Amino acid sequence: MTTMLNRRLVSFLIAGAALIAASLPPMSHATLTIKITQGLEGAQPIAIVPFGIDTGAPPPPEDIAQIISNDLTRSGRFSPLPTGDLPSRPSVATAVNFSDFRILGTPNLIIGRVRRLANGRFKVEFRLFDVFRGAQLTGYELDARPDELRRIAHQMSDIIYKALTGERGAFDTRIAYVTELRTGGSSKYALNVADSDAFNPKVVLESKAPIVSPAWSPDGQRLAYVSFEGERPRIFAQNLATGTRQVIAAFPGLNGAPAWAPDGKKMAMTLSKDGNAEIYVMDIESRRLRRLTVGAAIDTEPAWAPDGKSLVFTSDRGGTPQIYRVSASGGKATRLTFEGKYNSRATFAPDGKSLALVHGGNGTFRTAILDLDNQALRVLTKTNLDESPSFAPNGSMILYATSGNRGGTLAGVSTDGRVRQELASQQGDVREPAWSPFRQP
Amino acid sequence: MKLRRFIDNFTATSLAIIVHVAVLGALILSFNWTSPGAPPGSKIEPVKAVVVDESQVAEEIEQIKKREEKKRKQEEKRTRVLERDAQKAREQRKEAEKRLSALQRRLADEKRKHDDSARKQREAAAKSLAEVKRQRAEEQEELEKLKRAENDMEKRRLADEAALAVLAAQHKALAEEKRRIEDAKRRAQAERKRVEDQTRKATEARKAEQKRLAALAAAAAAKTAAEQKKKEEEIKQRKAEEARRKADEAKRKAEEARKKAETKARREQEEADLREQMALEQAQLDAQRAQLLDRHLAEYIGQIQAKVARNWIRPPGSPKGLKCTVKVAQIPGGQVVRVTITKSSGNVAFDRSVENAVLGSSPLPEPKDPSLFDREIDFEFEPED
């Protein structure tokens, strides 16, 4: 049978060589090879069954399956099946009938259940199945207080994301952002920290004076920001666990745009103490400064490369705001952006290979990605007034603020631009989001 | 089989869960995820891992028993389902067997047809062979005849020889007589000499007598010579005739041999032509079959490509130039039973999308010609763009 096929394969390959084919000796075992070059690029289908709950008891305060579903959707990598399309709703492994899901062509299935314990805590269990193979890929049981359920769900999302993509998930991370709430003639500013999906917001600092430019320390334990308390801008660093804060920079003139170096020991910032806005790097412990830029132009918004060896910043030295790169030890800066009359607020992707930035033109300001290898600029959004793009620590998404109908709102876009989504709406005008690093154990 | 593996997996997973939960618990314990800005003192308890409490053991056992009971019932239910599935599978197998036997019948049919024509050709060949044999037999017969003629000739030759012997004997007798006549002549002369002087009349009479005797002798000699000559002439004539006959015979034989050789050559040519014709027809038949198979193979490959491509959803934002090769095992009917990555793209999500594309395309399309079916197919996944 096989040799026949082989012989036929040969004759297939050598067109018109049918006569020769019969006299050819059978080839050694060479199987049919089929090339597949066509296929859709898109989010992977996944079935997420609402988690089983105790019958009779009040339902748990969070819908774990929904949180996981939203997380995976937001990443742009997965496309959960609408709940109404689920062929069955098993919550334990023994109740799973894989053929139900095979028919739908969904390769992955998540089931789970939430049980209320006598002490008021919850036991949450989930399993991820390979539908086609009928095998479990991973599964965990976690124990949580009611207010920890959302976080448990994000952790589960991370486990699932890692199991299916091989990359670390960034769902159990946090975002910081500033809100401005106007009441009557006055404004109230707040610095907030929330889950990566913008739920669970917690106010870190409230002030009648503007707060801008929040920046995460590399260990994720502190936030640096600029506060205009006392009618002048100063750079603060605040410990998120304890709430204690310290002044980092309070030089005459502008103290702005703090950016922690990857080693956590240095901070880049914009100071105008010498008369003009220039980029400086401060050794945090000694407070010693080193000036990186010189000239009459405005240089601001420094951002570190992941290896800490160079920085990018915005400068109008060429007549319009553009992005430049300079060595961390100073020297000549090289221009990186040439497309358009406005490029600002650059930040490095975690792999250091691209920059997210705000690209302006024709009255719009949109989030874009600049590929550092080939200088290609790709606009990711269709909104008009984007600001402060910030990469997820795994590089899969970019968080930014944009002007919506009710003022500034938070939005996320997958790095390939395919999935754009507004995050849960916050009270007031939302600005200056910053995505935290990975949580450290 | 699948069920057992699943249970194994389940047990292993339970262990894994306990370990992971313990680790995760430890991780979470070590990480201070107190809410930012929370007032000091209100420490939030970390997520706890599951630990079996001894006081709960009895209750646990009870629950386990209940669970086991439940499990047993589910097991029974599953068994029933399995049996039903097995029944279905048996039916499907029967169906497959039916299809297979139909295919085999068709194959047998084709083979029979093919055998038929081969048999006819064989019979025709046999017929012509018989003809050859018959002609050969005829030739043999002619040869026999020829031999018989040769024998006759030999006999005749022997008869002639005998006749010659008789002639020779007559000749000898003649010569004897001649010698006797000579003797008589000599005696007569001596007599004449003796009586010469005695009587003249007697001499004359003697002379006449001598004359008569001489004439007699001459006549006898002439007669003998003539007879001799006639006999020799006859023999000569007979010999010439014999030679002519022999020459004719040789000529005829040569002609016959030539004809025979011609016939033989013609027959051989015809046989060769027939064989060539048969080989040509066989080759054409083979070529037609090969062409048909080629077309079916191309169709088969096209159908598989279309189905698998339809089920291939590549992960978005994958780097360019990824390529993944898998070996796919299928059973008759196209059911995919195994997908093994033989060359990974190095990208987990891409590799998974490839495996899922093949698994999601099960059953794979079946070839029109069952001989094209192979239990193993290699797939190379490489996006064109």
Give the CATH number of the domain where residue A87 resides.
Answer: 3.40.50.10070
Q: Chain A residues with CB inside 8 Å of B32's CB?
A: 241
Note the pLDDT of residue A231: 87
Inside any domain, residue A39: no
The number of C-beta contacts closer than 8 angstroms across A and B is 213
SS3 content of chain A, % helix, strand, coil (to 5): 15, 45, 40
Asked, as a colleague might, if the bond just before A59 is cis with ω within 30 of 0, I would say: no
Which candidate in A34, A72, A99, A101 is best for mutational testing of the B interface (most B CBs within 10 A)? Answer: A34
Could you tell me which of B384, B376, B382 has the C-alpha nearest to residue B325?
B382
The residues of chain A scoring below 50 in pLDDT are: 1-29
Inside any domain, residue A99: yes
Nearest to B359 among A127, A132, A167 (CB): A132
Is pTM beyond 0.80? Reply is no
Structure tokens at A247: 């002044």
Same-domain status, A152 and A274: no
Q: Which residue has the higher pLDDT, A104 or B47?
A: A104
Inside any domain, residue A38: no
Whether B60 contacts chain A with CB within 8 A: no
Same-domain status, A160 and A262: no
Residue with tokens 């975690």: A350
Mean pLDDT, rounded, for B332-358: 93
Strands (E), chain B: 313-314, 324-331, 335-343, 376-381
Collect all residues with Cβ–Cβ distance below 8 Å to A132 and sequence separation of at least 6: A98, A102, A107, B355, B356, B359, B360, B362
Which candidate in B10, B351, B352 is best for mutational testing of the A interface (most A CBs within 10 A)? Answer: B352
Structure tokens at A248: 């980092």
Instruction: Work out how many domains chain A is built from and give that number.
Output: 3
Could you tell me which of A285, A259, A286 has the C-alpha nearest to residue A271?
A259
Q: Which of A165, A184, A201 is the last residue of a domain?
A: A165
C-alpha to C-alpha distance for A357 and A323, rounded to whole angstroms: 9
Which candidate in B18, B343, B353 is best for mutational testing of the A interface (most A CBs within 10 A)? Answer: B353
Same-domain status, A17 and A74: no
β-partners of residue A271 are A255, A278
Note the pLDDT of residue A216: 97
C-alpha to C-alpha distance for B23 and B47, rounded to whole angstroms: 11
Note the pLDDT of residue A9: 45
C-alpha to C-alpha distance for A431 and A363, rounded to whole angstroms: 19
Same-domain status, A143 and A241: no
Specify the DSSP element, H or E, that contains A310.
Answer: strand A310-315
Same-domain status, A296 and A239: yes
Tally the C-alpha atoms within 13 A of residue B185's C-alpha that lie toward its C-beta: 14
Note the pLDDT of residue B26: 52
Q: CA of A106: which chain B residue's CA is closest? A: B360
Mean pLDDT, rounded, for B133-161: 88
Same-domain status, A255 and A321: yes
Nearest to A243 among B37, B311, B371 (CB): B37
Which candidate in B24, B84, B341 is best for mutational testing of the A interface (most A CBs within 10 A)? Answer: B24
- Enumerate residues 272 to 331 of chain B having a beta carbon within 8 A of any beta carbon in chain A: 283, 286-287, 290-291, 293-294, 297-298, 301, 304-305, 308-309, 311-318, 327
User: What is the side-by-side order of every strand in the sheet holding A288-291?
Assistant: A255-260, A266-271, A278-283, A288-291
Same-domain status, A179 and A143: no
> Are residues A132 and B362, on separate chains, in Cβ contact within 8 Å?
yes
Q: Which of A110, A140, A165 is the last residue of a domain?
A: A165
Inside any domain, residue A263: yes
CA B85 to chain A, closest CA, distance in angstroms equals 12
CA A180 to chain B, closest CA, distance in angstroms equals 19
> Are residues A40 and B356, on separate chains, in Cβ contact within 8 Å?
no
Q: Chain A residues with CB inside 8 Å of B311's CB?
A: 105
Whether B10 contacts chain A with CB within 8 A: yes
Same-domain status, A48 and A98: yes
Note the pLDDT of residue B21: 57
- Enumerate residues 220 to 239 of chain B having a beta carbon within 8 A of any beta carbon in chain A: none
Note the pLDDT of residue B9: 56
**Domain housing A17:** 1-33
Same-domain status, A247 and A348: yes
Query: Is the model's pLDDT at B48 over the cut of 60?
Result: no
Could you tell me which of B254, B235, B140 has the C-alpha nearest to residue B148?
B140
Same-domain status, A128 and A203: no
Confidence of residue B307 (pLDDT cuts 50, 70, 90): very high
Note the pLDDT of residue B57: 64
Inside any domain, residue A260: yes
Note the pLDDT of residue A108: 94
Mean pLDDT, rounded, for B120-129: 86
Q: Are A338 and A370 in contact (CB under 8 A)?
A: no
Catalogue the long-range contacts made by A253-257 (C-beta closer than 8 Å, 24 or more residues apart).
A255/A226, A256/A212, A256/A213, A256/A226, A256/A300, A257/A213, A257/A226, A257/A300, A257/A301, A257/A302
> pLDDT per residue over B242-292, tens digit each?
999 999 999 999 999 999 999 999 999 999 999 999 999 999 999 998 888
Could you tell me which of A405, A335, A401 has the C-alpha nearest to residue A366?
A401
Note the pLDDT of residue A92: 92
Could you tell me which of A385, A391, A397, A393 has the C-alpha nearest to residue A429?
A385
β-partners of residue B212 are none
Note the pLDDT of residue B19: 57
Q: Which of A165, A196, A229 is the last residue of a domain?
A: A165
> Are residues A416 and B359, on separate chains, in Cβ contact within 8 Å?
no
Confidence of residue B3 (pLDDT cuts 50, 70, 90): very low
Same-domain status, A283 and A346: yes
Could you tell me which of B357, B374, B372 has the C-alpha nearest to residue B306?
B357
Same-domain status, A179 and A290: yes
Inside any domain, residue A219: yes
